[in-house]
Amino acid sequence: MNQQELQQEVAKRRTFAIISHPDAGKTTITEQMLLFGGVIRSAGTVKGKKTGNYATSDWMEIEKKRGISVTSSVMEFDYQGKHVNILDTPGHEDFSEDTYRTLMAVDAAVMVIDSAKGIEAQTKKLFKVVKKRGIPIFTFMNKLDRDGREPLDLIGELEDLLKIEGCAMNWPMGSGKTLKGLYDIYHNRIELYRPQANESQFLPLDATGKLAATEELTQDSIYQQTLDEIELIKGAGNTFDPDKIARGEQTPIFFGSALTNFGVQTFLDEFLKLAPAPSTHEMQDGANLPASDPQFSGFVFKIQANMNPKHRDRIAFVRIGSGEFDKGMDVTLQRTAKTLRLNNATEFMSAQREQVKTAVAGDIVGLYDTGNFQIGDTLYSGKPERKYPALPQFTPEIFMEVTAKNVMKQKSFHKGMQQLVQEGAVQLYRNYQTGDYILGAVGQLQFEVFKFRMQNEYNTEVVMKPIGSRIARWIDPQQLDPTMSSARNLLVKDMSEQPLFLFENRFAENWFKDKYPQVKLTAKL
């Protein structure tokens, strides 16, 4: 591909993740998007995952044979001249640090909110990570076909809890049984929920934002009420500001119903226009590397271990930051300066089912890994050397004490632990007084993967004793006095020997703060 072609290809990329609380409708909206993109042929294909009704298309067969769930981690399709990459951020029991790290590999995020519930815990957690990155965030208020909360109330809550400006792009006309449609502020039209057979789905509005008097809908009290609400938000709401959106300071809000496929296409079309293509990446040395630089480079943001004992392979997920990836190309692994030939890239779920041949900045490639890669590794072709900044560490929330079941296995226990920790599978701490090992994670699955891999890859059975959920707060070593520690605030040190307290709960943390007001406590991301 020449430079001009590369630039054109990169400009088409839209790489994003969908964040939400479980059950808000992430799977349903993803599935609608895949339908628009021609990846799946009927709704229910992806949802079938839950019911076990799974092997409905070829890519799923491939996945089943391999016994590793990678294809749905990245979903890609072409739509209206754009090449879309959706990165999955697992919820429920699959939630892990990988979920957070995936947010380091996207250029935008979509936040799906259940309009009956508003902002929920997991959305808030994921949002925090996205906000820190300063990337654009788009909001879809879902389940409009059900009675939900007042839109103004929802936007108010979003602004208060997430500290971001909301800008309504459209506005619901009723909800649940009374849902008539969406008043589309951005396009100055009304999108009807259930148009009559002879009616178009979109009704134009005049320059003052009103329907022609002949339209039947003008007689409906919901129409009048909507006009009043629109007047209110046009007067008191935030003005649409693309610069603020680009910086992640304002979120465009779209309403709709994923299940009934209402408002999803409007959302997708606008989102793909407003969301950025890959542009530049800040490197470790502070320089900005343009995505269209011809030299291939990228970083590993996730390593997925195979939970199937018959397959011991792992997949390293690489976000391409610049240039073009070619199957079989030679690259340098920056950390070891070793040259590797990338013969084995895996396909993700897409309309084109052949093996990945070329991919460009913005795309994700999955590389079979026999133990070469670590989380955060940089890969690059040719010269000069490239290095992406380290991925941030996240504050773990659940903890386990861990020991080797068989004392004779200490050596492999330490080796396995060291490698898995380096890889970013779990975080390791040591009790400040006793030196006992404590593992920290953001999701339960991380412990299960750890246990499984210690057994399978390092032949070591581990015993884990839960300490439960804790609030981890780092403390300046200068201010540390070991007598500050108690059963309710366990003192430990991290891998870089930095001391931190694991508080039993918020109460214990506040008690500590009251007792030692001069001591500064800090969280990671």
Write out the binding residues: 20-27, 88-92, 142-145
17 binding ligand G4P? (CB under 6 A) = no
184 binding ligand G4P? (CB under 6 A): no
Task: Count the residues in the chain.
Answer: 525
Q: Which is nearer to ligand G4P, 201 or 406 (CB)?
A: 201
Contact region with ligand G4P (CB under 6 A), list: 25-33, 65-73, 205-213, 467-475:
25-33
Q: Which is nearer to ligand G4P, 166 or 263 (CB)?
A: 263
Tell whether residue 142 is a contact of ligand G4P (CB under 6 A): yes
Point out the annotated binding site for GTP. Answer: 20-27, 88-92, 142-145
Give min distance, CB of 230 to ligand G4P, in A: 23
Strands (E), 432-484: 437-441, 462-469, 471-475
**DSSP assignment letter at 330:** E
| Token pair listed for 388 | 């992406």
Q: Which is nearer to ligand G4P, 96 or 381 (CB)?
A: 96
Residue 19 sits in the site that holds ligand G4P (CB under 6 A):
no
- Quick one: which of 14, 26, 319, 493 contacts ligand G4P (CB under 6 A)? 26
Task: Judge contact between 283 and 386, C-beta under 8 A.
Answer: yes
Contact 38, 32 (CB under 8 A): no
How far apart CA 179 and CA 43 sit, in angstroms, is 23
Give least dist CB 170 to ligand G4P, A. Answer: 15
Pairwise CA distance, residues 67 & 70, whole Å: 9
Nearest-angstrom CA–CA distance, 106 and 34? 18
* Site map (CB under 6 A) of ligand G4P, residues 77-96, x = contact: --------------x-----
Q: Name the strand (E) or helix (H) holding 420.
A: helix 410-423
Q: What are phi and psi of 82, to 5 degrees?
A: -110, 150
Interface characters, 409-448, with ligand G4P (x: CB under 6 A): ----------------------------------------
d(CA 66, CA 310): 9
Of 22 and 392, nearer to ligand G4P (C-beta) is 22
Of the two residues 19 and 305, which places its CB atom closer to ligand G4P in the complex? 19
Of 453, 454, 451, nearest to 464 by C-alpha is: 451
Instruction: List 303's β-bridge partners, or say none.
Output: 316
Kindly state the helix (H) or strand (E) to which residue 400 belongs, with its residue range: strand 398-404
Span interacting with ligand G4P, options 22-30, 204-212, 412-420, 504-512, rule CB under 6 A: 22-30
CA distance 463 to 436: 13
Residue 117 touching ligand G4P (CB under 6 A): no
- Residue 48 binds ligand G4P, judged by CB under 6 A: no
Q: Is 146 in the site for ligand G4P (CB under 6 A)?
A: yes
Give min distance, CB of 357 to ligand G4P, in A: 31
CB 132 to ligand G4P: min, Å? 23
The β-bridge relationship of strands 189-192 and 181-184 is: antiparallel
Which listed residue (3, 5, 41, 47) binds ligand G4P by CB under 6 A? 47
DSSP summary character for residue 438: E
The window from 72-80, 142-150, 425-433, 452-460 that contacts ligand G4P (CB under 6 A) reads 142-150
Please state the closest distance from residue 496 (CB atom) to ligand G4P, in A: 36
Which of the residues 395 through 414 are near ligand G4P (CB under 6 A)? none
If you count DSSP H runs as helices and E runs as strands, how many of each does the chain have, helices first? 13, 31
Give the residue from 332, 364, 361, 362 showing the smallest Cα distance to 345.
Answer: 364
From 26-34, 388-396, 436-444, 513-521, give the range in contact with ligand G4P by CB under 6 A: 26-34
| Cβ count within 10 A of residue 493 | 18
Least Å distance, CB 448 to ligand G4P, is: 20
Place of tokens 């969301």: 275
499 near ligand G4P, judged by CB under 6 A:
no
Which one of 13, 15, 28, 306 is in contact with ligand G4P (CB under 6 A)? 28
How far apart are the C-alpha atoms of 72 and 349, rounded to whole Å? 6
Report the nearest approach of ligand G4P to the CB of residue 36 (Å). Answer: 16
Contact of 348 with 360, CB cutoff 8 Å? no
Among 467, 473, 468, CA closest to 512:
473
Which residues 232-271 are close enough to bind ligand G4P by CB under 6 A?
Answer: 257-259
Tokens of 153: 């109330």
Q: State which of residues 22, 156, 290, 389 lies at the interface with ligand G4P (CB under 6 A).
A: 22
How many other CB atoms are there within 10 angstroms of residue 440's CB atom?
Answer: 25
Residue from the set 10, 15, 19, 27 that interacts with ligand G4P by CB under 6 A: 27
> Which of 9, 76, 98, 145 is the binder for ligand G4P (CB under 6 A)?
145
| C-beta neighbour count of 228 within 10 angstroms | 8
Q: Which is nearer to ligand G4P, 145 or 504 (CB)?
A: 145
Does residue 143 bind ligand G4P (CB under 6 A)?
yes
DSSP string, 171-189: EEES-GGG--EEEETTTTE
Residues in 208-237 that interact with ligand G4P by CB under 6 A: none
**25 sits near ligand G4P (criterion: CB under 6 A):** yes
- The 3-class secondary structure across 53-95, one letter per residue, is CCCCCHHHHHHHHHCCCCHHHEEEEEECCEEEEEECCCCHHHC
- Return the number of the residue (44 or 242) whose C-beta is nearest ligand G4P: 44
Positions that interact with ligand G4P (CB under 6 A): 20, 22-28, 47, 91, 142-143, 145-146, 257-259
